[in-house]
Amino acid sequence: MAEILSQSQIDGLLSSLTSGKDEIESQSASVFNRVKEYDFRRPKLFTREQLKLLFSIYENYARVLSSHITGILQIYSQIEIFEVEEQQYYEYNNALPDSALMGMIDFEIKGSDDDEDLVLMDMSKEIGFCCIERLLGGRGRSLESDREYTEIEIGVLDYFVRGMVNLMKNVWFDYLEITPRLLKIETNARTLQGISANENVVIIVMNITVNETQGKINICIPATTLDMLFKKRITQNKRNAKRGDQQAEESRRKNIIDEIRKTELQVKGLLGEVEVLSQDIFDLEIGDIIKLNKPIDSFVDIVVNDETWFRGEMGVFNKNKAIVIKELSAAGSEPNR
């Protein structure tokens, strides 16, 4: 005979079924929260490895830039890279305030087919005014009221941003040869041209602290520029592999030495020296004798760019004064007194 369940047992079964359903729903919700949406109509163009490479490059740039700004402003500054993210340009542009400090940079990638390899850099207005005050002799505090930059302030920041842009060449040196230069500074992000609204860009976000002021520095690299950077890097890696050949290395060394040989050096013969009073100089007349600090039979120092390389004797060659080299001197030694 089948066992008949009591009302309490039936209620217990129903409650266990309800709690199990809630647990399944909570697990599903947690899994759903971990899933990131992917837009197949606007696919990502760059791999995770490429973004990691950019993170590594600009992590080094953040350290170099932090030391540079500390040296220029003579106050504490720290820069840390926050993230590297790929998005579309209109998303980056819409997130900017109407009034922002924007630097337009030409990367000038060696061997690039494009006229301009455009990159954008923007800086928080708080950091901009903090740097201006410090450069003009202040304590380095942010401006309390929100206002536009004046022409003089833009000129001061132009010098400041150019120094920041030049440092990018150093951090890219191990990967690619570029010559970045600042084209101009804009204060209205809506008027910028040269990048399509739907073009993919990679944004490098860095947090910056100057004195007690905090802000952000964003570097926007369009897909066209970044694609050229990666292509040239692959080409350069192949070229570097071929350079390992011994014959190519010898040829490269010979070219370097040939270029060094073309360097112009100043060579002069130093008979001797003497210290006299300025009054004695004024009293000199034709026929007066100046006694040097060397005997008549001593060698003449042959000085190359203020360093004595050889010693020799005075003579005549083809009716011209000449010096016969008699001995070598230690490179970098001071002339005999």
Please check the confidence at residue 289 and state whether its pLDDT lies above 90: no
CATH number (3.40.50.2300, 3.40.50.300, 3.30.1600.10, 3.40.1550.10) of 48-239 reads 3.40.1550.10
Most confident of 7-21, 32-46, 225-239, 265-279: 265-279
Q: CA separation (Å) from 33 to 21, 30, 43, 300?
A: 18, 5, 21, 85
Mean per-residue pLDDT, 146-166: 89
Please check the confidence at residue 167 and state whether its pLDDT lies above 50: yes
Q: What is the pLDDT of residue 34?
A: 60
- Work out whether the CA dihedral 265, 271, 276, 278 comes out positive or negative: negative
Q: What is the pLDDT of residue 262?
A: 83
Mean per-residue pLDDT, 299-312: 86
| Count of residues in the chain | 337
Band of pLDDT at residue 1, cut at 50, 70 and 90:
very low
Domains 48-239 and 267-333 share a fold: no
User: What does the domain layout of the chain look like in residue ranges?
Assistant: 48-239, 267-333
- Let me know: does 102 contact 89? Beta carbons within 8 Å: no
Q: What is the 3-state secondary structure (H, E, C) of the chain?
A: CCCCCCHHHHHHHHHHHHHHHHHHHHHHHHHHHHCCCCCCCCCCCCCHHHHHHHHHHHHHHHHHHHHHHHHHHCCCEEEEEEEEEEEEHHHHHHHCCCEEEEEEEECCECCCCCCCCEEEEEECHHHHHHHHHHHCCCCCCCCCCCCCCCHHHHHHHHHHHHHHHHCHHHHHCCCCCECCEEEEEEEEHHHCCCCCCCCEEEEEEEEEEECCEEEEEEEEEEHHHHHHHHHHHHHHHHHHHHHCCHHHHHHHHHHHHHHHHCCCCCEEEECCCCCCCHHHHHCCCCCCCCCCCCCCCCCEEEEECCEEEEEEEEEEECCEEEEEEEEEEEEEECCCC
- Let me know: does 214 contact 200? Beta carbons within 8 Å: no
The CA distance from 208 to 66, in Å, is: 8
Q: What is the pLDDT of residue 76?
A: 87
When comparing pLDDT for 7 and 228, which is higher? 228
Read off the pLDDT of residues 34-90 as tens digits, 9 standing for 90 and up: 666 656 666 778 888 889 999 999 999 999 999 999 999 998 899 999 999 999 888
267-333: CATH superfamily: SpoA-like (2.30.330.10)
Mean per-residue pLDDT, 263-288: 85
Locate 140 and state its tokens. 């380095």
Q: Name the percent of the chain lying above pLDDT 70.
A: 82
Mean per-residue pLDDT, 216-241: 80
Band of pLDDT at residue 260, cut at 50, 70 and 90:
confident
The CA distance from 166 to 229, in Å, is: 17
